[in-house]
């Protein structure tokens, strides 16, 4: 029995995609005996290029069932089946990822109609589903939609089964769960990994660190490394001999620890993070009319930055949000070129600083409110968040605007006195990457609390 599947996804980072549409046809080798097709709410945005490709957009999926609501039906229709798909490795991986998020082990044999076609119909100019079905005279409607592609795969698979009269080629190409085919050493390393947030260090047989990473689920991330098909993943799989872990309790400390450790050890496979993370910064200046202007610039250590960004697009997007949140002026912030008023002024969201209708002191008070909230220059603050256990909290210390390090304390411990802080804080390097990580994290995530302290207490 076969379950012929096609899946459409949101696109995005490897193993972070979500399903937007799924079609499954249960096929007994002669006829379709059951079928299931549905849009799926992926609970994450769809990449624009995927919207253009499939025609599926975020609005279409708001009322669609979430994966956990259709998971039982998928288990039922695929029971005792070999999973068949055109590029089966992709569809099977996506399904396994979704079921892993639910804590359910979805394990199937799989069969790829691309591989099967190359064996049974060699010398085709292309083995993409669209071009292959066209050359074989198989009708294909609703290309890049799950139901249309799955039906075309059913017809292609029927043709391939007929060609393989002895079914020997089909049997030879059936693959088992790739996780079960991992080398024993990799399975042992996965088994030893915790499921908590932290930093991991991969060593080669000589004990050298070859890769450092962080994850909110160390076991899951290690599994992704050891089942990945990319070139770097394959090299790591061959070279890794041991992995050790440091549990951090929360992602902010994991990010800070990962960044510093990569700079210290310079692992072979961490080339991207050896360099600085930020490329752009947000600064301020006062124009001829006395208004504070915010501007995006290329990173420059000689200038005082309010906050930093990894890309210009991220910086621009955040500045648009800041401008709207604090009722600032798009023209003054360099987001709208005009010789007169800005776009928001026409919508009554800008109070007229662009045409000197608003008093500079009133306008600047809102800009300063933003700057004071988002820049910890010359501030003494403690960022309190989850610790490694339920009765523990973590603390990241900023003293005079500089990152001092992190530590952990018991819930009942009073930590705001300088001598207490010195005893629990693990000193770390202050650099622009660390400040970028902290500022970016606080923009996107909630922490338990932020405390101010006096270094002279």
- Per-residue pLDDT averaged across 102-116, rounded? 88
CATH class for the domain made up of 2-179: alpha beta
pLDDT of residue 302: 73
pLDDT at 276 over 60: no
Domain boundaries, the chain: 2-179, 182-270, 280-372, 381-452
Q: What is the pLDDT of residue 246?
A: 95
Q: Cα separation of 264 and 341, whole Å?
A: 50
Backbone φ/ψ region at 405: left (φ over 0), alpha (ψ -120 to 50), beta? left
Nearest-angstrom CA–CA distance, 329 and 343: 9
What does the alpha-carbon distance between residue 35 and residue 208 come to, in Å, rounded to a whole number?
Answer: 52
Q: Which of 111-115, 170-174, 193-197, 296-300 has the lowest mean pLDDT?
A: 170-174
| Secondary structure letter of residue 141 according to DSSP | -
The region of weakest confidence among 110-114, 362-366, 430-434 is 430-434
pLDDT tens-place string over residues 214-237: 999 999 999 889 887 788 888 999
CATH class of 182-270: alpha beta
Mean pLDDT of 133-138: 90
pTM: 0.54
Strand order in the sheet with 426-427: 426-427, 402-410, 392-399, 381-386, 449-452
Mean of the pLDDT values across residues 272-278? Answer: 59
pLDDT of 426 > 70? The answer is yes
- Distance, in Å, from the CA atom of 19 to the CA atom of 12, rounded to the nearest integer, reads 11
72-96 pLDDT, tens digit per residue, is 999 999 999 999 999 998 899 899 8
């Amino acid at each position: 029995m076969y379950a012929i599947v096609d899946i459409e996804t949101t696109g995005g980072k490897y193993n972070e995609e979500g399903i937007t549409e799924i079609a499954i046809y249960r096929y007994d080798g002669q006829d379709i005996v059951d079928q299931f097709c549905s849009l799926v709410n992926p609970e994450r945005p769809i990449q624009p290029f995927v919207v253009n490709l499939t025609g599926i957009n975020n609005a279409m999926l708001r009322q669609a069932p979430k994966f956990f609501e259709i998971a039982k039906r998928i288990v039922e229709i695929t029971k005792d089946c070999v999973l068949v798909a055109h590029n089966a490795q992709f569809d099977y991986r996506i399904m396994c990822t979704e079921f892993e998020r639910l804590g359910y082990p979805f394990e199937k044999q799989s069969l790829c109609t691309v591989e099967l076609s190359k064996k049974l119909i060699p010398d085709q100019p292309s083995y993409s589903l669209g071009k292959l079905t066209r050359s074989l005279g198989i009708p294909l409607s609703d290309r890049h939609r799950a139901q249309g592609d799955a039906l075309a795969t059913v017809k292609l698979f029927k043709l391939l089964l007929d060609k393989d009269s002895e079914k020997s080629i089909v049997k030879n190409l059936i693959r088992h769960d790739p996780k079960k085919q991992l080398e024993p050493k990799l399975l042992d390393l996965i088994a030893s990994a915790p499921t908590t947030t932290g930093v991991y260090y991969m060593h080669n047989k000589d004990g050298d660190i070859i890769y450092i990473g962080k994850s909110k689920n160390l076991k899951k991330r290690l599994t992704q490394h050891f089942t990945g098909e990319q070139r770097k993943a394959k090299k790591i799989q061959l070279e890794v001999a041991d992995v050790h872990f440091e549990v951090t309790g929360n992602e902010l400390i994991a990010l800070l620890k990962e960044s510093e450790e990569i700079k210290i050890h310079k692992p072979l496979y961490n080339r991207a993070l050896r360099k600085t993370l930020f490329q752009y910064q947000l600064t301020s200046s006062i124009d001829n009319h006395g208004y504070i202007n915010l501007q995006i610039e290329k990173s420059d250590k000689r200038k005082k930055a309010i906050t930093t960004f990894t890309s210009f697009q991220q910086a621009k997007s955040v500045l648009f949000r800041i401008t709207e949140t604090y009722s600032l002026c798009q023209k003054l912030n360099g987001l709208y070129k005009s010789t007169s008023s800005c776009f928001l002024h026409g919508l009554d969201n800008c109070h007229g600083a662009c045409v000197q209708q608003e008093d500079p002191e009133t306008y600047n008070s809102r800009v300063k409110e933003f700057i004071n909230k988002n820049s910890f220059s010359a501030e003494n603050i403690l960022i309190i968040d989850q610790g490694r256990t339920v009765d523990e909290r973590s603390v990241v210390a900023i003293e005079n605007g500089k990152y001092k390090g992190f530590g952990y304390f018991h819930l009942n411990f009073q930590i705001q006195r300088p001598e207490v802080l010195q005893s629990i804080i693990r000193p770390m390097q202050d650099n622009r990457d660390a400040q970028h990580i902290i500022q970016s994290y606080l923009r996107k995530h909630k922490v338990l609390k932020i405390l101010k302290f006096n270094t002279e207490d």
